Structure 1
Amino acid sequence: MRDARDVLKRPVISEKSVGLIEENKYSFWVDTAANKIEIKNAVEKMFKVKVVDVRTINVDGKKKRVGKHVGRTADRKKAIVTLKAGDRIEGFAGL
């Protein structure tokens, strides 16, 4: 089993993800190789909360152009984690 810090990269801070906090759902960028069980265990270990559901989304990288060179940004994976009623992650409280 991998360390929780290797699974969770950083929180997703966007208008939509901040709105989901009211529904007790928190969004994180996670390692592309992480599965739902690893994500659940990582969130429970790092934040001392009970996870009810994990949903994952594979986000394809975008095409980027610098002069005549065309490249792509890296593919990423996003996880939306639903917590048990009454649980919350304090770091997201000020958003």
Structure 2
Amino acid sequence: MPTFRKFAFPDGATADKLLQDLQPLDFAVPLGHLCAATDAEGNCIKTRPEFAVDILFHDTCPEELAAFVVWPTPCGVHCFSGWDEQYAADHKEFATPSK
């Protein structure tokens, strides 16, 4: 069954290395360093250190990537078309409360 997951890697090089083994029908969208803080006009003044990537897997998430899965509040910066509701349901089921 197809699976949509969001990832936070320590840096772009780590993401590139791990994502080179994706299957042909998997689709990754590198989002980069997301905005962590904005000024009064909405301009980004601070970015997050981790490198964000969204992946739509043709099947399940490979185990070697599971340690990098994150659960930001739905749906935020990016979502694959038609996957908003499924991500929200998965978030409700799998996300752990932020500390």
The answer to whether the superposition gives a TM-score over 0.5 is no
Q: Hey, which of these two has a bigger chunk of strand by percent?
A: 1
The structure showing larger relative contact order (alpha-carbon pairs under 8 Å, at least 6 residues apart) is: 2
Q: Which has the larger radius of gyration?
A: 1
| TM, length-normalised to structure 2 | 0.38
| TM, length-normalised to structure 1 | 0.39
Q: Hey, which of these two has a bigger chunk of helix by percent?
A: 1
